[in-house]
Structure 1
Amino acid sequence: MRLKRYGLRFLIACCLSTGAFAQKTALLCKRLIDGTGKIVQNAAIVIEADRIIAVGSKDIIPKDASVIDLGDFTVLPGLIDAHVHPFIDKDDYQIDHLRRSSAQKALEGLKIMQDLLQAGWTTLRIAGDADVAYAQFDIRNAINKGLFTGPHIYGAGHYISVTGGGGDINFTSYEQPIIADGLIANGPDEMRKAVREEIKHGSDWIKIMVTGAFMTVGDNPQDVHFSSEELTAVMEEANRRHRPVMAHAHATEGIKMAVRAGVRSIEHASYIDEEGIDLMLKNGTYLIPTLSVDLFFQEKYFNSKALAKAVQLGKHEKDENTKSKMLSLAIRKGVKIGLGTDNVGFPATFPAREFAELIKLGMTPMQAIQAGTKVNAELLGKEKDLGTIEAGKLADIIAVKGDPLTDITELQQVKFVMIGGKVVKSDN
């Protein structure tokens, strides 16, 4: 009997340590937009540990579950931003990149990511960032160890650029031996090495600057910067190591080159044409149009000298309306479009304006919500864990007071946030 008692105590201790007796929690809400396209009225969501175990009506709630009643609120999956730069938060970001240490960027970047989590963004894909090291992965690793609460983080350490490209610093004198904010590589061999360096230091995506950029001095976004040989080398190396590639591509031909090479996503696509759209459809390439960044520049940085080029190009793009017409066509044709903001210092509630911009292009509110949940989870290859509220998924859940299907701006006012079954925000 004594051995049996000791054995029982040992079993209980093991169960507690592994979470086998974890507390169940039930969320109640007036309306559930589950990410799959369904709307469930008067829904209940049952959570155990960090996972959803059941979704349905109130009669599914176990007797031993604690209940969080969200009343008339609308519940949705946690939001996913597929294009962020947490270390870029100044208009003169390339100079600011030289002012701040990697350690300082890590501390400030953690605060930015936590603020985004509070605004409902439970997952971020970093599209490279302005840091000589890999501070974003130090943040990710600390969050994953439980040292801090923060969003799920995926992405690239740096944007790989050619000399004189959008990731290089092109406004200093020849004599100045500075380290650019991007990872500079030229020729197939250097491209292979750059991919290997990124993977070695924690990148689960590879980011390449196939064309010029809007924000940098000394390059033209309508120019193609990568040769076909360089692009092939990147793709071969990334594929060998099972890392997807995201391609910064504004120029028409650069978009097509990147799609033909097999990148998983095209970022920006400012000068895409119908042939490029059809190529994306044929190859199943995702498109991340990053619309709200132009709004941010026009509203905050309209007098900025550092971003004069970006502001002017964005204004011209808006006046010409060509990008909007092409993106609307891409939506109608069925290109897989995810939500990415190109967040470069936005206030935490600003990124949700991307939903309204997608709706202006012709998406329904439900499609726009799915772009920032289900579609982005599929882009990341994390659809088994993220993007919808279904049994088996991680309990990444947000709630808003009203109905975002009738007023999409509700997503700018998230009142409740849960990540991995842990409540991190609960207003009202």
Structure 2
Amino acid sequence: MLITNAKIVDVVAGEIRSEDAVRVSESGEITELGKSTTLARSTNETTLDLDGRYLFPGLISCHSHLSVVFPFSLTDPNEDPALTAFRAAERAHQALDSGITTLRSVHEQNQVDLYLRRAAKAGWFQGPRIFGAGRALSTPEGHGAGSACSYAKDFNGFYKAAIGELDDGADHLKIFITGGLARAGERPEDPEMTDDEIRGVVKAAEERNTYVVAHAGESAAIQQALRLGVRSFEHGYVMDQTTVDAMAAKDVFYSPTLCV
């Protein structure tokens, strides 16, 4: 395919390129870059005229939920998996239509992210590339209560729950180490997991050469999880400079869950 008359965004240089046309292979890779007026054209080649629209790489959503969405009070933890799949597939289509070609899921009801990924590989579903966590791991009364998580207590319980998600195809593991902002009666300052519980999840992740993602509201819990080997933190509503410096020193990932 030849795409012409485009404003081509170079995200590395942070500028609009002087060229305005690209040739795309059947596998979706850009194979040639040039001017609309000079790029050679084939008689049997499809041409798409963007008429001055922007062309840029697919967006990546680093923190996604296709099935468990706000308001969380509407979540039915006993929902039939088929209905979950229909809801999640619709949101995945919306994401793709919005330019999101890759998403990292950090908790889905009924492990629907893992099933959608399998369906896409089989050719039954078209959506973004999915890196999935399956179900998040939560204490029974924690931030994940009522959200169809995998619930556990103590080291052995969390280790077993983590292995279960990994066995089912999860790429990474999600935990809740504090409360959050979206539910009445909880605060992002409230810790929710013990050292041993976090260790159980980290152990499972390290055995499978992957990592743990933590919903984290404040500094003390982040430093606790950082010390125990958690490598990715979400939200960080209240973080002091000492915690930020400690995260940088450990070279971990931080997703503030802001929107574009």
Does residue 120 of structure 1 match 2:99? yes
Task: State the TM-score, normalizing by the size of structure 1.
Answer: 0.56
Note if 1:34 corresponds to 2:4. no
Once residues 266 and 80 of structure 1 are traced to their aligned partners in structure 2, the CA distance between those partners, rounded to angstroms, is: 17
Aligned mates of 1:258, 1:48 — CA distance in 2: 44
Q: Does 1:66 align with 2:22?
A: no
- Per the alignment, residue 231 of structure 2 pairs with 264
Identity %: 27
Secondary structure of 2:12 counterpart = coil
Residue 88 (str. 1) matches residue 68 (str. 2): yes
Q: Is the 8 A contact 1:126 1:156 kept in 2?
A: yes
For residue 219 of structure 1, report the CA deviation from its aligned partner: 3.3
Match 2:167 to one of 200, 206, 209: 200
Q: SS at the partner of 1:234? A: helix
Quote the offset at 1:128 in angstroms. Answer: 0.4
Q: Deviations over 1:373-422 (max 9, x none)?
A: xxxxxxxxxxxxxxxxxxxxxxxxxxxxxxxxxxxxxxxxxxxxxxxxxx
- SS across alignment from 2:132: strand
| Contact 1:29-1:75 within 8 A present in 2 as well | no
What is the 5 A alignment of 1:102-251? 102-129=81-108, 131=109, 133-169=110-146, 181-251=148-218
Amino acid at match of 1:260: R
Distance in structure 2 (CA, Å) of the matches to 1:74 and 1:285: 33
CA distance in 1, matches of 2:187, 2:166: 29
CA–CA separation in structure 2 for the residues paired with 1:152 and 1:76: 17
Q: Quick one: which amino acid aligns to residue 151 of structure 2?
A: I
What SS does structure 2 have at the residue aligned with 1:97? Answer: coil
Q: Deviations over 1:67-103 (max 9, x none)?
A: 2221211111111111111112452x34532363221
SS at match of 2:18: strand
Following superposition, the deviation at residue 118 of structure 1 comes to 1.0
Q: Look up the equivalent residue of 1:224 and give its one-letter code.
A: P
1:261 deviates by 3.0
Contact 2:25-2:31 at 8 Å conserved across structures: no
User: Normalized against structure 2, the TM-score is what?
Assistant: 0.89
Superposition RMSD on alpha carbons, in Å? 2.1
Between the aligned partners of 1:155 and 1:37, the Cα distance in structure 2 is 31
Unaligned runs of 5+ in 2: none
CA drift at 1:272: 0.9
What's the offset of the Cα at 1:37? Answer: 2.7
State how far apart, in whole Å, the 2-side matches of 1:273 and 1:241 are.
32
5+ residue gaps, structure 1 = 1-24, 170-179, 292-353, 356-428
